[in-house]
Amino acid sequence: TTQIKQQLDRLKETLRQYEYHYHVLDNPLVPDAEYDRLMNELKNLEWQHPDLITTDSPTQRVGAKPLDGFAQITHEIPMLSLDNAFSDDDLDGFLRRIEDRIPVKSQQLEFCCEPKLDGLAVSILYVDGILIQAATRGDGNTGEDITANIRTIRNVPLKLNTPNPPARLEVRGEVFMPQQGFEQLNERALAKGEKTFANPRNAAAGSLRQLDPKITSQRPLVLNAYSIGVYESDDQLPTGHFERLQWLKSLGIPVNSEIKLAQGREQLLAFYQHIQQKRSSLGYDIDGTVLKVNDIALQEQLGFISKAPRWAIAYKFPAQEEMTI
Ligand SMILES: Cc1ccc2cc(C(N)=O)cc(O)c2n1
């Protein structure tokens, strides 16, 4: 069966590369028909040799049966929320509080800037490069085990795209539902006389809280990573947050394409205005931007205020007039 094993490994690795290029690099290598053909070839071969099926196979995204409930998971490192800014003055207060604590003028400081995705924060643990466990943020200290549901999200890799993975890597990110998928889901629900969701965030939350992964698997969910939690490896991580996110992307973890480095107050405001102008054309809901001191050593010096980091701020947009349908 070594012959069969080699054939299975080749098929799995090829499908993983196709998924990486399609979902993470946004640059498909082959037409969907070719991807589907290979996936069916792998499914048939695994059906003939069920004993050779591995948990990281691209065919193993949808769990067998529905759960009775969700187990609780305690986060080794608390998942904290962000302090908010609602005006340029609030942003200036954030910058001043940083300058009060570290001997660096904010004009010289580099920030990692990103759109603030309006979804649910999750934690995904990879051990030796294999997806082992996933949890909701919950109250920041304990969340729900949603591993079976996270596995169904097509842009979440079941195996990291590297020959020497870290012993343990916890990826933190936001799971959201793009607007188009949300509208199609509600149309289908209406047609079937089922309940509709008020907004994409509720739809994403409802989809992740499904006890039956087969239902979650049919929901158009997307993950975008935004930070690293637990990390155990012989290799050091990059010393900047932006560089860490690019490293995650090289491992096959999807990262939002709008994330940029900015230096000083003017460039922060320019990023905020740039994203605000793009907001209606992004294709997914955001409620502002997240601006983080990029240098990890400085983040550690700045630490956290009670529950939110002193080194990051969510600069939110004014509430949009809700469309009354
Ligand atoms: C530390 C932290 C906490 C919550 C976050 C939430 C988002 C988000 N909703 O996009 C992005 C981030 O970079 C975050 N960063």
In which band, very low, low, confident or very high, does the pLDDT at 1 lie, cut at 50, 70 and 90?
confident
In which band, very low, low, confident or very high, does the pLDDT at 85 lie, cut at 50, 70 and 90?
very high
pLDDT at 264 > cutoff 90: yes
- CA-proximal residue: ligand 1, atom 3 (nearest): 81
Beta bridge partners of 85: 315
Atom of ligand 1 nearest to the CA of 312: 1
* Residue to mutate (ligand 1; options 111, 118, 122, 226; most atoms within 8 A of CB): 226
Atom of ligand 1 nearest to the CA of 287: 9
Ligand 1 centroid – CA 227 distance (Å): 8
% of the chain at pLDDT higher than 70: 98
The secondary structure of 132-168, three-state, reads EEEEECCCCCEEEECHHHHCCCCCCCCECCCCCCCCE
- Ligand 1: residues with CB < 6 A are 80, 82, 114, 116-117, 121, 174, 226-227, 290, 309, 312
For the full predicted model, state whether its pTM sits above 0.90. yes
pLDDT at 319 > cutoff 90: no
pLDDT for the residue numbered 323: 55
Q: What is the pLDDT of residues 178-234, one digit of tens each?
A: 999 999 999 999 999 999 999 999 999 999 999 999 999 999 999 999 999 999 999
Here the tokens at position 75 are: 């986060």
Q: What is the pLDDT of residues 9-47, one digit of tens each?
A: 999 999 999 999 999 999 999 999 999 999 999 999 999
| 116 among known catalytic residues | yes
C-alpha torsion angle, residues 116, 122, 125, 129 (rounded to 10): -50
- CA-proximal residue: ligand 1, atom 14 (nearest): 226
Distance separating alpha carbons of residues 41 and 60, to the nearest angstrom: 14
Of the candidates 116, 159, 249, 292, the residue annotated as catalytic is 116
Q: What is the pLDDT of residues 102-139, one digit of tens each?
A: 999 999 999 999 999 999 999 999 999 999 999 999 99
- CA-proximal residue: ligand 1, atom 12 (nearest): 226
Distance separating alpha carbons of residues 315 and 313, to the nearest angstrom: 6
